[in-house]
């Protein structure tokens, strides 16, 4: 070790504490030690000196200082790296916004020009003829412009030269949509651009078919982005298959592929779609990567594809991806999806699904961006999620659940499905598949379940129209309140069917849910629009003996579309029985619900509204029905609900299983209708703003006790002084910005009341609140603190709790700055419950 001093006159002992220069070997040794233990204790530092002779002549204090400086440099390096990444992202987003601004300015100029042109045409028309119809003139002018913009070339042959001509034309038209104004783009409802937004998402206005466009920054290199997006089956849940029938390279370094793609129908009331397209991949002069695609039809020429049974041939207008490398890493991506989905072929009530650009943006365009962001996050950090699984493995489970549910809804004959006769009523459709290996492949054939029994799979499905019920709200309720529609006997039968000795066919009794459910989170997407979880169903069994053998059952469940502000997004709840091992090769037999909105307008309802359905779900309680009221403009909200349940069967029990399945699905439909009626907003009070939970005398009394006890114990008012009337008191308490909750005085305290902020913090409803215990939401420190403070609360009347973390019913941590707990006294001054107020809370 070399020691240098600032001045010759200084003592060496002073210099030794200030100026130390380490040799290269010593630095190398310290770096190795830092890698193993960045923050060693004093004992550990002394041990390091003994174990490493090269450090023996360095003071322990100097080693401590070295580690402090090393940690500081590491922190600064990480912060600098983070700021550089943020700067790169902001620069890229600024570039996108400037390009979008230029495009909009050009569009404004074009509209000003067209406006002047239309005015001139109107003046000429009024002079030349008595027909002063503005609409006929404008229509004719637009028709002329469209004919000018889209010239009709003569059909071309299927030779490589002819296909290259089609490809180059497709590229030109795609770029005019991605960067120009070939389509009039307007901002998608509900999408606000910003630093945390998924991107700039726009939809078409007034063009043929439906179209959506998105611009965004993703942290993946362009080649990888193109590879991911071209694999549609990995991210587009509605895509059944993509077959590349022909592929060849072009002279300019590009690639042309002829594709046949099949898309699932979202409901049993419509046919599936297929596409016959040409896909062209090339690199532009500026280094940008382009993947564009369009349908091959008689207009463009090229090879043809015969119609396929059960599919309606749809048309893809020039669409694709423009991927540009971003400075410092990542890619700037423009996505354009433009389709004609042949809405004439579906019932009129479903046509909004096929005529809405908003629906296309949600299902296709934004799905691509979300998938890319998810992959980028997984690549940038070594994430291990629930049950020690890697994100890719859990993503595969989600894809399999969606695919299995889509197969059940569509029931394609080439997968082995055939229609089974009905019982005189056509409300429930029964399909039978006696060749399940077509669906599950070798995974199914090698399992320990059905193939050994010589049976098959049976699917019971139905669709219904719903009025005035937001899809997200309905699916959230079905997820949290399984007991309102599920039957424990059927759940037990489905779980036991995968075992070597399945149980007998039970009788259906919807609502006979005999035990509780525990939601065990596995994974969620970046924006929390999709959740993968394991549902533990406790204390189930068809008989007492079976209950003793297997008390718990497990379901793998996928829940999506819970954001009521996501315009045009459908909500799904799909689940399948599994065993506790959750093996990757386990066969899945998904069942579930899909609710699709039929109206593209914004639903003005609050995404966090809550409900008290305990009284509304009682048959004949008309008085209670009027008290459940919600705000928003959902008076004309329509949606279609599709239900599909799959069951295994042995051949000799097929008729019995079919009868059970038909009866069960009818019962589920009736339960969902009953729930939907309770969830629907009151038409009499829909003009009012967001309302309180039902103002029962008990709720008013509890609100008064909570406020009086707070004033009695702490000497200050909980609410504003002008809240004197009971109803006003309850209203003010309900809308208080801090989370206020009441907990029972039992050996296992459970929550009995929470205001709006409290329900948001716990991510639950007033009904489900009663199933949440205080112990479940507190972390270890919170439980220890509460156990030590409960005596003070009961003796002194209140206690201040330090900052901490709670866990919501969905498993999300929520931090709070501080909390207060106080004893709530009734009118006789006896303890009634304990109230908590969590201040400045937010999800971590």
Mean pLDDT check: name the lowest of 132-141, 387-396, 483-492, 783-792: 132-141
Q: How far is CA 844 from CA 240, 718, 737, in A?
A: 37, 27, 18
Mean pLDDT check: name the lowest of 30-44, 453-467, 488-502, 686-700: 686-700
Write down the pLDDT at residue 647.
92
Residue with tokens 């060693």: 40
Write down the pLDDT at residue 423.
63
| Separation between Cα atoms, residue 662 and residue 218, nearest integer Å | 47
The number of residues in the chain equals 844
Locate 306 and state its tokens.
């015969």
Identify the DSSP state of 414.
G
Write down the pLDDT at residue 52.
82
| Separation between Cα atoms, residue 486 and residue 340, nearest integer Å | 39
Q: What is the SS3 string spanning 122-182?
A: HHHHHHHCCCCCHHHHHHHHHHHHHHHHCCCCCCECCCHHHHHHHHHHHHHHHHHHHCCCC
Q: Which residue has the higher pLDDT, 206 or 593?
A: 593
Task: Name 320's bridge partners.
Answer: 292, 336
Locate 361 and state its tokens.
């943006």
Provide, rounded to the nearest whole percent, the portion of the chain with pLDDT above 70.
78
Identify the DSSP state of 770.
T
The pTM of the whole model exceeds 0.75 = no
Of 593, 676, 683, 674, nearest in space to 634 by CA: 683
| Separation between Cα atoms, residue 311 and residue 413, nearest integer Å | 11
Identify the DSSP state of 55.
G
Write down the pLDDT at residue 701.
87
> What structural domains and CATH numbers belong to the chain?
28-110 (1.10.10.60), 160-380 (3.30.530.20), 391-437+454-506+514-540+551-601+637-679 (3.30.530.20), 697-843 (3.30.450.20)
Write down the pLDDT at residue 618.
35
CB 216 within 8 A of CB 196: no
| Separation between Cα atoms, residue 362 and residue 335, nearest integer Å | 13
Reported as a single tens digit per residue, the pLDDT across 118-148 is 888 887 777 765 444 444 444 444 444 444 4
pLDDT band at 745 (very low <50, low <70, confident <90, very high): confident
Residue with tokens 């694709």: 320
Does residue 45 have a pLDDT over 50? Answer: yes
User: Any idea of the CA torsion for 398, 402, 405, 410, to the nearest 10 degrees?
Assistant: -160
pLDDT, the chain, mean: 78
CB 612 within 8 A of CB 766: yes
| Separation between Cα atoms, residue 494 and residue 579, nearest integer Å | 12
Q: Is 194 exposed, middle or buried (0-12, 13-18, 19+ CB in 10 A)?
A: exposed
Reported as a single tens digit per residue, the pLDDT across 437-464 is 655 554 444 444 444 446 789 999 999 9
Write down the pLDDT at residue 576.
93
Reported as a single tens digit per residue, the pLDDT across 644-674 is 999 998 888 889 999 999 999 999 999 998 8
Identify the DSSP state of 778.
B
DSSP code string of 569-622: --EEEEEEEE-TT--TT-----EEEEEEE---SPP-S-TT-----TTTTSTT-H
Task: Name 312's bridge partners.
Answer: 273
**Residue range 616-633: mean pLDDT, rounded:** 34
Write down the pLDDT at residue 359.
92
Write down the pLDDT at residue 584.
80
β-pair type (571-578, 553-560): antiparallel
């Amino acid at each position: 070790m070399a020691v240098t001093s600032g001045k010759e006159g200084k003592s060496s002992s002073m210099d030794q504490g200030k100026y130390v220069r380490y040799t290269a070997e010593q630095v190398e040794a310290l770096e190795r030690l830092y890698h193993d233990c960045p923050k060693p204790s004093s004992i550990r530092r002394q041990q390091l000196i003994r174990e490493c002779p090269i450090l023996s002549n360095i003071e322990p204090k100097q080693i401590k200082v070295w580690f402090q400086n090393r940690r500081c440099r590491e922190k600064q390096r990480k912060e600098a790296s983070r700021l550089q990444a943020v700067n790169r992202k902001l620069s890229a987003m600024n570039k996108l916004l400037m390009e979008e601004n230029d495009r909009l300015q050009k569009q404004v100029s074009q509209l000003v020009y067209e406006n002047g042109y239309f005015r001139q045409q109107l003046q000429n028309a009024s002079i030349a003829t008595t027909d002063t119809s503005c609409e006929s003139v404008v229509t004719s002018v637009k028709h002329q412009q469209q004919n000018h913009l889209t010239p009709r070339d003569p059909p071309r042959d299927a030779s490589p030269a002819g296909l290259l001509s089609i490809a180059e034309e497709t590229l030109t038209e795609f770029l005019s949509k991605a960067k120009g104004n070939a389509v009039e783009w307007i901002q998608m409802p509900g999408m606000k651009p910003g630093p945390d937004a998924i991107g700039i998402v726009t939809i078409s206005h007034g063009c043929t078919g439906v179209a959506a466009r998105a611009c965004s920054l993703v942290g993946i290199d362009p080649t990888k982005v193109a590879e991911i997006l071209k694999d549609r089956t990995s991210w587009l849940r509605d895509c059944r298959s993509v077959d590349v029938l022909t592929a060849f390279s072009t002279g300019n370094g590009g690639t042309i592929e002829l594709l046949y793609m099949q898309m699932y129908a979202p409901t049993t009331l419509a046919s599936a779609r297929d596409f016959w397209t040409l896909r062209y991949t090339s690199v532009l002069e500026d280094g940008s990567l382009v993947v564009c695609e369009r349908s091959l039809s008689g207009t463009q020429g090229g090879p043809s594809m015969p119609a396929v049974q059960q599919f309606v041939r749809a048309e893809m207008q020039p669409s694709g991806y423009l991927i540009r490398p971003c400075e410092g890493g990542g890619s700037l991506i423009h996505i354009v999806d433009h389709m004609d989905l042949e809405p004439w072929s579906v019932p009129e009530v479903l046509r909004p699904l096929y005529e809405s650009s908003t629906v296309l943006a949600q299902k296709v365009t934004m799905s691509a961006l979300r998938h890319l962001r998810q992959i980028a996050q997984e690549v940038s950090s070594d994430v291990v999620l629930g049950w020690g699984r890697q994100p890719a493995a859990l993503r595969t489970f989600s894809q399999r659940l969606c695919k299995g549910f889509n197969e059940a809804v569509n029931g394609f004959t080439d997968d082995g499905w055939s229609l089974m006769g009905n019982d005189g009523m056509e409300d429930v459709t029964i399909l039978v598949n006696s060749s399940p290996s077509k669906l599950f492949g070798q995974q199914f054939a090698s399992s320990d379940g059905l193939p050994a029994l010589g049976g098959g799979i049976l699917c019971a499905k139905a669709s219904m129209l719903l009025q005035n019920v937001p899809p997200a709200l309905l699916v959230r309720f079905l997820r949290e309140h399984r007991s309102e529609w599920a039957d424990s006997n059927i759940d037990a039968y489905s779980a036991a069917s995968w075992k070597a000795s399945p149980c007998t066919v039970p009788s259906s009794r919807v609502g006979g849910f005999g035990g509780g459910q525990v939601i065990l989170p596995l994974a969620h997407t970046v924006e929390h629009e999709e959740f993968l979880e394991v549902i533990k169903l406790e204390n189930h069994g068809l008989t007492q003996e079976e209950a003793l053998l297997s008390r718990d059952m497990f379901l793998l469940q996928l829940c999506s579309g819970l954001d009521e502000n996501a315009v045009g997004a459908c909500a799904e709840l799909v689940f399948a029985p599994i065993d506790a091992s959750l093996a990757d090769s386990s066969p899945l037999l998904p069942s579930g619900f899909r609710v699709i909105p039929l109206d593209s307008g914004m639903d003005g309802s609050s995404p966090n509204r809550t409900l008290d359905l305990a009284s509304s779900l009682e048959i004949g309680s008309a008085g209670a029905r009027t008290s459940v009221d919600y705000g928003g403009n959902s008076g004309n909200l329509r949606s279609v609900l599709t239900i599909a349940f799959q069951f295994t069967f042995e051949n000799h029990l097929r008729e019995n299983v079919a009868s059970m399945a038909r009866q069960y699905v009818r019962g589920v439909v009736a339960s969902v209708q009953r729930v939907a009626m309770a969830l629907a907003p009151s038409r009499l009070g829909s003009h009012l703003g967001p309302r309180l939970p039902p103002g029962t005398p008990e709720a008013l009394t509890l609100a008064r006790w909570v406020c009086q006890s707070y004033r009695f114990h702490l000497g200050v008012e909980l609410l504003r002084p002008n809240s004197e009337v009971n109803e006003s008191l309850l209203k003010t308490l309900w809308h208080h910005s801090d989370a206020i909750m009441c907990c029972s005085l039992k050996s296992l305290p459970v929550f009995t009341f929470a205001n709006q902020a409290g329900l948001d913090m716990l991510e639950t409803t007033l009904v489900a609140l009663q199933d949440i215990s205080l112990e479940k939401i507190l972390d270890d420190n919170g439980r220890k603190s509460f156990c030590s403070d409960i005596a003070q609360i009961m003796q002194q009347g209140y206690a201040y709790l330090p900052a901490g973390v709670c866990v919501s019913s969905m498993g999300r941590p929520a931090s709070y700055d501080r909390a207060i707990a106080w004893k709530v006294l009734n009118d006789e001054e006896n303890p009634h419950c304990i109230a908590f107020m969590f201040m400045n809370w937010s999800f971590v």
